[in-house]
Structure 1
Amino acid sequence: MPALKRTAAALITAAALTGTTLATAGTASAASYHCNTSSKTVDDPSYTGIWPDNWDLKTTICAKRSGSTVYTYAKITVNGPNFYADTNVFESARFHLQVKQSLSGPDKVKNWKNYYGVEKPLETTNHYGTYTTGVISWKAGSANALGDGLLQLNWYHDGKDYQNYTFTGSPVV
């Protein structure tokens, strides 16, 4: 009987280890996001005063492939000037997120969505914050694809519509 118990224990242990290994392999092989982060400093074109009016913007654009579908999202971090008394610096602001097919020439936009929630961290009292878009996708099949996007700012009192600020897209997935 002890030999039978040892065999049963060994089989249970082996099954548990195999199950753990398989579960870990499944998790490890699940698609993970690949990201690029880029930054730029932007001048407020509507402000001509003596105080520094630059906005430090950082964007991380990520993409992943799961089967034949490519998913992308962006995270935007804003660090604006804190001397503004008015929190209404923009008529409107949005992040224009895109899924693109990677081509040898210009990449082709396959899906896109505008995210207006980015205006909130831009116009808080300290003009600092982070915003993460939702996720959009495209059924790419076997085509290479990437996430891309641009921040579109419509500044108050500059007499212009949206101005586009581009960032580095995600790696190709």
Structure 2
Amino acid sequence: MRKLTSVSVVVSAALTAGMVAAAPASAGGYRCSSSTRELDTPQYDGPWPDNWRVTTTLCAKRSKGRVYAYARVRWDGPNGALGGGFTNDAYFLVRIRAAGKVKASKRFHGIESRWDHSDSNGNYNGSYRTGTVSWKGRTAAVAAGSLNLEWADDGKGFRSTSFTSSPRV
């Protein structure tokens, strides 16, 4: 009986640890989801790696009848061999969606000034946290978002890349 109890405790601890690890990331009552996308630099077709690995965490919380949402964006871009000036403009769009409809949204252009600037080693890596969007409502809602880039020299205007929405709040 003692062996069975030990096994039960170990299995129970393992399951509990797994559940904790699978829970959404949160900070200050926010419920968050992260997702990653690979973006190609469209104006470059040479021998150097030119992809951007973009990870976005979308977060939402409900407090006193309001929903609050924001995004944290991190990217690992190409090295300095490609030069700079990748985009003409950029913004991150944060939306609060409820019942399949956009209830509030805001464009955050602050990401553009960071996107095209390399570090002292010529690497285009960076991060940006948007401001917070809010909406007064009782319906279950999520934070949704997209990175919108107007790549330089490709003539196709803004290209939008969406990321996984936050859990419902």
Give the TM-score taking structure 1 as reference length: 0.76
Residue 170 of structure 1 is aligned with which of 155, 166, 169?
Answer: 166
> Could you tell me which residue of structure 2 aligns to residue 132 of structure 1?
129
Instruction: Check if 1:151 corresponds to 2:150.
Output: no
Identity %: 40
Letter in 2 for 1:97: V
Instruction: Check if 1:111 corresponds to 2:104.
Output: yes
Provide Cα deviations, 1:97-120, integer angstroms capped at 9, x if missing partner.
Answer: 11111x2xxx20011110111123
SS of residue matched to 1:118: helix
Instruction: Check if 1:93 corresponds to 2:83.
Output: no
Give the unaligned 5+ runs of structure 1. Answer: 1-30
Structure (1 or 2) with the larger CA radius of gyration: 1
Provide Cα deviations, 1:64-84, integer angstroms capped at 9, x if missing partner.
Answer: 000210000000001100134
SS of residue matched to 1:134: coil
Equivalent residue pairs, number = 138
> Could you tell me which residue of structure 2 aligns to residue 13 of structure 1?
none
CA distance in 1, matches of 2:124, 2:63: 36
CA contact (8 A) 1:98 1:113 kept: yes
CA contact (8 A) 2:86 2:116 kept: yes
CA RMSD of aligned residues (A): 1.2
The structural deviation recorded for 1:162 is 0.3
User: Structure 1 100/129 Cα, relative in aligned 2: closer, same or farther at 3 Å?
Assistant: same
> Could you tell me which residue of structure 2 aligns to residue 58 of structure 1?
55
Spell out structure 1 runs of 4+ moving beyond 4 A: none
SS of residue matched to 1:45: coil
The 5 A counterparts of 1:66-77 are 66-77=63-74
Give the unaligned 5+ runs of structure 2. Answer: 1-27
Give the TM-score taking structure 2 as reference length: 0.78
